[in-house]
Amino acid sequence: MKTLLLLAVCIAALVALILCYHWDSARNHGFTFGYYGQFNTVSNALASLENVRIQTAWHNADVTLEEFGFDIATSQGQTIKIVFGENSPIRKLSGQDLRTALSNEIVMALSTQTNSP
């Protein structure tokens, strides 16, 4: 009887985990945790920067959210792409550290764009 009960609990826990994962990864609920957590944190920080507007956002969904990126426009009318790979340290930042890192990424992308032939 104990074995049957233990088996039922394990199966129920497995089903609950699968349903929770499917609910979390099937749609972006806007949370700063879970499957889309890093994407939403970076997106919110970008949106909070002055003189920057997100034009499009994209992500590569898999078992985990791999890379994601944004096409942004500056107040000067310049458009740049910023991509965050699976191992990008910026994805783990938050608050002012994240906003500073994003500002630096934008400056680097703009200078690269300006200096390219």
The answer to whether residue 22 sits within a structural domain is: no
Model confidence at 89: pLDDT above 80: yes
Q: Is 6 part of any domain?
A: no
More confident residue, 27 or 98: 98
Q: 54: which strand partners?
A: 72
pTM over 0.85: no
Structural domains counted in the chain: 1
Query: 79, 72 in Cβ contact below 8 A?
Result: yes
Kindly report, residue by residue over 4-60, the tens digit of the pLDDT. Answer: 889 989 898 998 888 877 776 677 878 888 889 999 999 999 999 999 999 999 998
**Residue 1 located in a structural domain:** no
Q: Does any domain span residue 10?
A: no
Distance of alpha carbon 109 from alpha carbon 114, whole angstroms: 9
Q: Judge whether 16 lies within some domain.
A: no
Q: Mean pLDDT of all residues in the chain? A: 89
Q: Is the residue at 100 inside a domain?
A: yes
Beta bridge partners of 68: 59, 84
Domain extent at residue 91: 31-115
